[in-house]
Chain A
Amino acid sequence: MKRWTPIMALFVVVALILTACPSPTPEVKVVKETVIVEKEVVKEVQVGQPIHIVARCKAAPPHEEGRCNNLVSAVGAANAALAEKGDDRRIELEIIQDNADWGDYKTEFELASDAGQAPDIVCSGHEHIGDWGPAGYLVDVTAMLGDYTEFDDVIDALWASTEWNGKRWGVPQDAEARPMFYNKTLLAELGWSDADIESLPDRIMSGEFTWEDMFDTAEEAVKAGVVKEGNGWWHRPKNGGDFLYYYYTAGGEIVGDGDALIFDKAAALKVYEKLYAAVDRGILSDTRLDGDWTGWHTGITDGDVLFAFGGSWNWAEWFSNYVADRGGQDYLWEHFGFAAIPGMANGTGKPTTLTHPLIYMISSASEHPDLALLLISKASVKELNTDYAIASGHLGILKSQAEYGPYMSAKFLTQVLPLLDVTTFLPNSPHWSAWSNGYYEGIQAAESGFSAEDALDLAVDYLQNELGENVVIR
């Protein structure tokens, strides 16, 4: 026993020393190893009681950083408003901004909420309201919105994206459209006249040029050697909201009367048939869903692809990061055009697009939701939102921007704006994610060589297995 006494004593001493070591206070919050996290604390000369507010944003650097940076810019106006009201509280803002994956970003907020450590403000996709509203993570701001006149300027149609269960759970931060980009140079090589090329957006909007026409043109380009096999048409390289508008234009509905989501087999089958045919005809590569965004951007901006379904923010991404050395926006205007997504002739026949507004939401764990909303209101003004919209390729959210010089002189934004006439949204439903996964499994199958019918069977199997009574298969 005597031999062990020193060992045990040493063990106890080491344990005590380790316990006594103070845990370091991190200066920078690290969300995960591979994610860049910025933290900026805005401190003003304190004349009142400082209130620490934390805002969390997902933003691709540098063009989307206005999401949180606009809140930083709004601190002064918010504190001035407090001073004017005789409120002695003053906002001290900390922002956490990075470009995490959507899934990780959402999970982080959920875990933080459950641990009581959620940020006061989170800027996220509107569809997350479907999960976070029922879970009690968000503040219902319906009754509070009237206290801030800035919100009267928000485009009425956008409020729908903040709603769940008849209530509003946040404030729109941005809007966008998801257009079809086309390469003008390649179309000209294919023999299209300038007039044909310039009129393409109008012909799509009128329903004259359909999805089927797009595939025929893409196939012609592949056969003529204008583009390589598989480069006639590209969609995004991984799952995402885009694929839902395929279903919409095929005639599908997703939201019904109850809480359950609808899966329309006829519409989904049309989508799977289209995708199977695209690979079969050499328009689309069977490895297109490779998850490689860099390769996707490079392929399109290098002029290798005839048609590509993307997002309005891609424009900003491309001129900032991909063609800056070739002339930036001028290069893009010279070589690329954009239009609504052509309608499927065997579906609705109508052109479409999808808008995925990001929403500023307030955590139910916030001790100062009124200050959080005040800050959001001061960030939701035309000057700040226009700066963000121009830099990021997103659309404005305010009615007054339609008459605001800097916004209206931004050629890209004004030309994208008409697409909102045919826009659609993701559903704010807690079942959306599982629905999307099932539908996407069918897409992967169709592009991997499964027949459209088999792809549909897989999707239906998945949805019934995952959602049970929360999906109506019809």
Chain B
Amino acid sequence: MAEAVMGRKVIRGQKPPSRWAQFKATMGAWGFMGPATVLVLVFFFLPVVILFVISLTDLSSSNFSDPLTFVGLNNYVRLFRDRFFPKILGNTFFYVAVTLSCFNVGMALLLALLTTHINRRAGFFFRLIWLLPRITPSVIYILMWRRISHQPPFGLINQLLAPFGVEPQYWLFEQPWLFVILVNGFVGASFGLILFSSAIEAIPRDLITAAKVDGASTWQSIRDIVLPMIRWPLLFVTTYQTLSLLTSFEYILLLTEGGPGLYTTEVWALTAYKRALKTYFGHNQWGYGAAWGFVLVIIGIAMSIIYLRVFRFNELVQEPKIDVL
């Protein structure tokens, strides 16, 4: 019988490893962990610290060359006093929830199930097609959507619907959210599609075959075998795509700039970007923009913790109940 203790195995009846061997094992573990730890610290942790420090200053384009002036939590007070703060927050949750559920997870899962239940070559082909939006340069992709939904007399939709007597409209501005979600969703779905497809393909065929022999329908095999077996990729895609959507704004910036009108499709990350880096006359408020960015980091961390609890992450990564020597 064996037991795992802090990465070393102690087998009853054998001499415990020497201190030197333990030291070597520990150093070895750190050796492997080291590069990743340094990367995480430098590229993930440190930027958050810098972001927080900047958010406590009034750094802007008019005092860029002066020493930093700390203003305490003033930027956060301004942020929460902004009249459109609730609208922007609501927009953000709406955008993330709908895009995630309808496309990044929902559509991705549906497509993965469909493409793994048809001819293998055809399934591969359809997955390839769904990758096209992701590999198209953002500006080209958005230009295409703008031309599709453009105002009369232009716009592909208007041209296509004209023969049916549909009144030409500026579709993008009539249904801005629809287009924002479609544009992001078509790109986002491919990520989950690839991961879910490979996870489904990895499920031993025996299980599906046995279920079919026992009389299970396709839906029952999906519900009782496939979905439980791909819980891990589901957790990963849901968490990763939530965070990704929370911080993504480039397609919205290119498509609607947060409009039409006042903050109609403006999401949190776009506001942070506009405050910090994008005003017509170039008045960049890096301190204030950093405050918007830091609140987004907090929201992201909170969402991650919620997901880990909902999906019972600890159970997914618990040590195997059977240990093979």
Of A60-68, A248-256, A284-292, the segment with at least 4 beta carbons within 8 Å of chain B is: A284-292
**How far, in angstroms, from A357 to B174 measured CA to CA in the complex?**
38
Complex partner residue of B65 from A105, A114, A434, CB under 8 angstroms = A114
Assess whether B173 is in contact with A290, with CB atoms less than 8 Å apart: yes
B277 within 8 A of A: yes
B282 within 8 A of A: yes
**How far, in angstroms, from A213 to B219 measured CA to CA in the complex?**
69
Assess whether B281 is in contact with A433, with CB atoms less than 8 Å apart: yes
**How far, in angstroms, from A450 to B264 measured CA to CA in the complex?**
13
A92 within 8 A of B: no
Q: Within residues 270 to 319 of chain B, which ones have a CB less than 8 A from any CB in chain A?
A: 277-285
**How far, in angstroms, from A102 to B282 measured CA to CA in the complex?**
7
Type the 1/0 row for B109-148, where 1 means its CB is closer than 8 Å to any CB of A.
Answer: 0000000000000000000000000000001000000100
B18 within 8 A of A: no
Which residues of the other chain, B, contact A450 by a CB distance below 8 angstroms? 262
Complex partner residue of B62 from A4, A113, A131, A449, CB under 8 angstroms = A131
The residue of chain B having its C-beta at the shortest distance from the C-beta of A295 within the complex is B151
**How far, in angstroms, from A450 to B87 measured CA to CA in the complex?**
15
Assess whether A4 is in contact with B279, with CB atoms less than 8 Å apart: no
B83 within 8 A of A: yes
The residue of chain A having its C-beta at the shortest distance from the C-beta of B35 within the complex is A11
Provided the pairs A1-B24, A289-B260 are in contact, do residues A103 and B278 lie with their beta carbons within 8 angstroms?
A: yes
Complex partner residue of A287 from B260, B262, B277, CB under 8 angstroms = B260
Type the 1/0 row for B57-75, where 1 means its CB is closer than 8 Å to any CB of A.
Answer: 0000111111000000000
Assess whether A295 is in contact with B65, with CB atoms less than 8 Å apart: no
Which residues of the other chain, B, contact A458 by a CB distance below 8 angstroms? 83, 262
B93 CB, nearest partner CB in chain A, Å: 22
A96 CB, nearest partner CB in chain B, Å: 17
**How far, in angstroms, from A409 to B17 measured CA to CA in the complex?**
98
The residue of chain A having its C-beta at the shortest distance from the C-beta of B276 within the complex is A107
Which residues of the other chain, B, contact A239 by a CB distance below 8 angstroms? 280-281
Assess whether B262 is in contact with A448, with CB atoms less than 8 Å apart: yes
**How far, in angstroms, from A397 to B281 measured CA to CA in the complex?**
24
B106 within 8 A of A: no
Which residues of the other chain, B, contact A444 by a CB distance below 8 angstroms? 259, 261-262
**How far, in angstroms, from A461 to B139 measured CA to CA in the complex?**
34
Q: Within residues 30 to 60 of chain B, which ones have a CB less than 8 A from any CB in chain A?
A: 31-32, 35
Assess whether B24 is in contact with A295, with CB atoms less than 8 Å apart: no
Number of residues from A at the complex interface, CB < 8 A: 52
A433 CB, nearest partner CB in chain B, Å: 3
**How far, in angstroms, from A339 to B27 measured CA to CA in the complex?**
80
A355 CB, nearest partner CB in chain B, Å: 16
A394 within 8 A of B: no
**How far, in angstroms, from A102 to B280 measured CA to CA in the complex?**
6
Provided the pairs A290-B173, A291-B257 are in contact, do residues A103 and B280 lie with their beta carbons within 8 angstroms?
A: yes
Type the 1/0 row for A81-121, where 1 means its CB is closer than 8 Å to any CB of B.
Answer: 00000000000000000000111111100100110000000
Assess whether B282 is in contact with A436, with CB atoms less than 8 Å apart: no
The residue of chain B having its C-beta at the shortest distance from the C-beta of A239 within the complex is B280
**How far, in angstroms, from A444 to B261 measured CA to CA in the complex?**
6
Complex partner residue of A289 from B64, B259, B279, CB under 8 angstroms = B259
A432 within 8 A of B: yes
Which residues of the other chain, B, contact A295 by a CB distance below 8 angstroms? 150-151, 154
Which residues of the other chain, B, contact A104 by a CB distance below 8 angstroms? 278, 282
A359 CB, nearest partner CB in chain B, Å: 15
Type the 1/0 row for B71-85, where 1 means its CB is closer than 8 Å to any CB of A.
Answer: 000000010011100
A406 within 8 A of B: no
Of A132-140, A186-194, A260-268, the segment with at least 4 beta carbons within 8 Å of chain B is: A132-140
B27 CB, nearest partner CB in chain A, Å: 8
B170 within 8 A of A: yes
The residue of chain B having its C-beta at the shortest distance from the C-beta of A455 within the complex is B262
**How far, in angstroms, from A103 to B273 measured CA to CA in the complex?**
12
B86 within 8 A of A: no
Complex partner residue of A430 from B62, B262, B277, CB under 8 angstroms = B62
B16 within 8 A of A: no
Write the residues of chain A forming the contact surface with B, with a CB cutoff of 8 angstroms: 1, 4, 8, 11, 34, 101-107, 110, 113-114, 125, 127-128, 131, 134-137, 238-240, 286-287, 289-292, 295, 430, 432-434, 436-437, 440-441, 444-445, 447-450, 458, 461-462, 465-466
Q: Which 6 A-B pairs have the closest CB atoms?
A: A433-B283, A106-B282, A448-B261, A433-B281, A103-B282, A239-B280
Q: A289-B260, A289-B261 are in contact. List 8 more A-B contacts (CB 8 A).
A: A1-B24, A4-B28, A102-B281, A106-B281, A127-B281, A135-B66, A239-B281, A448-B261
19 residue pairs bridging A and B, Cβ less than 8 Å apart: A1-B27, A8-B31, A107-B277, A110-B282, A113-B65, A125-B281, A239-B281, A289-B259, A289-B260, A289-B261, A290-B173, A291-B257, A432-B283, A433-B282, A433-B283, A434-B285, A441-B262, A445-B262, A449-B261
